[in-house]
């Protein structure tokens, strides 16, 4: 699931305000939707290939905890990927 910004969400919009910095980049918050975003930022930290690999490992019988340790990904992230199968 890829997140899409609403059409109103861009830095100069009247509904968006500056909302701190993340990794040296300005972040914004939409007052209408309550959504926080970085203009031009990436939503995904992990590649689709890594996600598929984790899902395949789970299908082949590995536990979520084992997958988490082997791929060095937080347990909650792997659990969320598996739940969305």
Beta strands across the sheet bearing 16-22: 16-22, 25-30, 36-38
**pLDDT for res 64:** 96
The pTM (predicted TM-score) of the whole model is: 0.53
Contacts by 39-48 with C-beta closer than 8 Å and gap 24+?
39/10, 39/11, 43/2, 43/3, 44/2, 46/73, 46/77
**pLDDT for res 6:** 62
What does the block give as tokens for 34? 């309550």
Q: What is the pLDDT along the chain (85 residues), one digit of tens a residue?
A: 445 566 667 677 788 888 898 888 888 888 888 888 887 756 567 888 999 999 999 999 999 999 999 999 999 999 999 998 7
**pLDDT for res 24:** 83
Question: Domain spans of the chain?
Answer: 9-42, 48-83
């Amino acid at each position: 699931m890829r997140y899409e910004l609403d059409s109103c969400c861009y830095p100069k919009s009247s509904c968006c305000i500056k909302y701190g910095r993340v990794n040296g980049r300005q972040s914004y918050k939409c007052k209408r939707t309550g959504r926080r975003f970085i203009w031009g930022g990436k939503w995904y930290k992990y590649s689709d290939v890594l996600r598929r690999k984790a899902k395949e490992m789970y299908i082949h019988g590995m536990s979520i905890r084992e997958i988490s340790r082997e791929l060095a990904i937080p347990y909650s992230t792997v659990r969320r990927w598996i739940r969305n199968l």
